[in-house]
């Protein structure tokens, strides 16, 4: 499945700016992250730009039109005094992908503003935005992640970790829309059927005086370890992989022994 990612603006066109932050830099950073992640998920990804280069509007649209991509995600940052994320879809689309993206951005922590389409007043029956009007059969969604001139949004947008969360939201929405399996960044090669194990604890986790308490034997044995209790010394000994943990009731210290090193 081929996807086109369009980092808005670039080069001599900085896009919206505020407090020294330029839209073109944020959109490029997010787009490069998306490309890497989506390729790991099996997508073929192309980008309208991969560096700080200038693209005229018709060059950008023509590139997308001829790309052969199924979808195009056009990344942008808003301005004008509002707040939150917006997604914009073609008047010829049902808007489902745009709504999925907006919902995921909300889950990631950005306020949801709206998902909408806009008709052109100059071209009857056609889209207002050229990224919809001029990109041919490629379904394009313009994503406005927040308002750069709104301090609350800007603080989130300049945080790399938060931007990556937003990008992940878009990726997840695309996977949902295309009915393609989505995997978290730390589990790109996981086979959940093999790696997820569910066990039932005799005593479920509980809170006591603000602290989380768990049944130690259940946890250790679930990790493939062994646990012994020595009543005379009130001592617990756990062996997990190459580590031995020794704990004594009433003693805050835990002794950890590296068994492999000890055996040399």
CATH number of the domain to which 227 belongs:
3.30.457.10
CA dist 22 and 126 (Å) reads 30
Q: Closest Cα to residue 165, out of 188, 140, 145?
A: 145
Same domain? For 45 and 16 the reply is yes
Is 87 inside any structural domain?
yes
Both structure tokens of 77: 């940052």
Q: Which tens digits make up the pLDDT trace of 213-249?
A: 888 888 888 888 899 999 888 999 999 888 899 999 9
**pLDDT(72) > 50:** yes
Show which of 155, 187, 219 is a domain's final residue: 187
Which uninterrupted H or E stretch holds 116?
strand 112-116
Is 192 inside any structural domain?
no
What does the pLDDT read at residue 252?
A: 87
Is 14 inside any structural domain?
yes
**pLDDT(196) > 70:** no
Whole-structure pTM value: 0.71
Same domain? For 118 and 241 the reply is no
106-111, Cβ contacts within 8 angstroms, sequence gap of 24 or more: 107/169, 108/162, 108/165, 108/166, 108/168, 108/169, 109/156, 109/162, 109/165, 110/84, 110/85, 110/145, 110/146, 110/153, 110/156, 110/166, 111/83, 111/84, 111/85, 111/146, 111/153
Show which of 169, 187, 205 is a domain's final residue: 187
Same domain? For 40 and 112 the reply is yes
Question: What is the average pLDDT across 93-102?
Answer: 97
| DSSP-derived secondary structure letter, 124 | T
Same domain? For 63 and 170 the reply is yes
Same domain? For 36 and 84 the reply is yes
Question: What is the average pLDDT across 172-186?
Answer: 93
Binned at pLDDT 50, 70 and 90, residue 263 comes out as very low
Same domain? For 31 and 134 the reply is yes
**pLDDT(160) > 80:** yes
Is 132 inside any structural domain?
yes
- Cα end-to-end distance, the chain, whole Å: 53
Domain count of the fold of the chain: 2
**pLDDT(55) > 80:** yes
Show which of 159, 187, 215 is a domain's final residue: 187
Same domain? For 138 and 56 the reply is yes
Is 162 inside any structural domain?
yes
| 219 within 8 A of 226, measured Cβ to Cβ | no
Residue 143, SS3 per DSSP? strand
Same domain? For 52 and 112 the reply is yes
Is 34 inside any structural domain?
yes
CA dist 69 and 3 (Å) reads 5
Same domain? For 43 and 127 the reply is yes
Question: What is the average pLDDT across 126-136?
Answer: 96
What does the pLDDT read at residue 262?
A: 52
Q: Closest Cα to residue 56, out of 10, 97, 96?
A: 10
Is 118 inside any structural domain?
yes
Percent of the chain exceeding pLDDT 70 equals: 93
What does the pLDDT read at residue 207?
A: 79
What does the pLDDT read at residue 224?
A: 83
Binned at pLDDT 50, 70 and 90, residue 186 comes out as confident
Question: What is the average pLDDT across 252-257?
Answer: 90
Range of the domain at 228: 197-263
**CA distances for 97 relative to 57, 81, 88, 191, angstroms:** 23, 26, 10, 27
Same domain? For 247 and 126 the reply is no
**pLDDT(188) > 70:** no
What does the pLDDT read at residue 264?
A: 40
CA dist 74 and 131 (Å) reads 8
CA dist 111 and 106 (Å) reads 6
| 230 within 8 A of 237, measured Cβ to Cβ | yes
Same domain? For 13 and 144 the reply is yes
């Amino acid at each position: 499945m081929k996807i086109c990612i369009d980092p808005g603006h670039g080069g001599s066109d900085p896009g919206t700016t505020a407090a020294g932050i330029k839209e073109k830099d944020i959109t490029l950073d997010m787009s490069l992250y998306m490309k890497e992640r989506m390729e790991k998920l099996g997508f073929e990804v192309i980008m309208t730009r991969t560096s700080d280069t200038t693209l005229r509007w018709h060059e950008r649209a023509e590139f997308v039109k001829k790309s052969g991509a199924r979808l195009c995600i056009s990344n942008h940052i808003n301005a004008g005094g509002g707040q939150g994320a917006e997604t914009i879809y073609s008047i010829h689309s049902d808007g489902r992908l745009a709504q999925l993206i907006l919902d995921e951005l909300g889950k990631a922590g950005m306020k949801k503003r709206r998902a909408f389409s806009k008709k052109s007043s100059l071209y009857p029956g056609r889209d207002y935005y050229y990224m919809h009007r001029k990109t041919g059969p490629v379904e394009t969604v313009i994503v406005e992640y927040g308002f750069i001139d709104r301090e609350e949004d800007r603080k989130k947008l300049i945080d790399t970790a938060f931007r990556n969360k937003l990008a992940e939201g878009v990726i997840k929405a695309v996977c949902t829309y295309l009915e393609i399996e989505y995997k978290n960044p730390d589990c790109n090669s996981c086979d959940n059927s093999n790696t997820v194990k569910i066990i039932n604890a005799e005593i479920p986790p509980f809170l006591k005086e603000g602290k989380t308490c768990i049944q130690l034997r259940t946890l250790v044995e679930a990790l493939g370890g062994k646990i012994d209790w020595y009543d005379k010394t009130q001592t617990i000994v756990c062996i997990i992989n190459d580590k031995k943990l020794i704990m004594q009731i009433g003693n805050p210290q835990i002794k950890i022994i590296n068994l492999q090193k000890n055996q040399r």
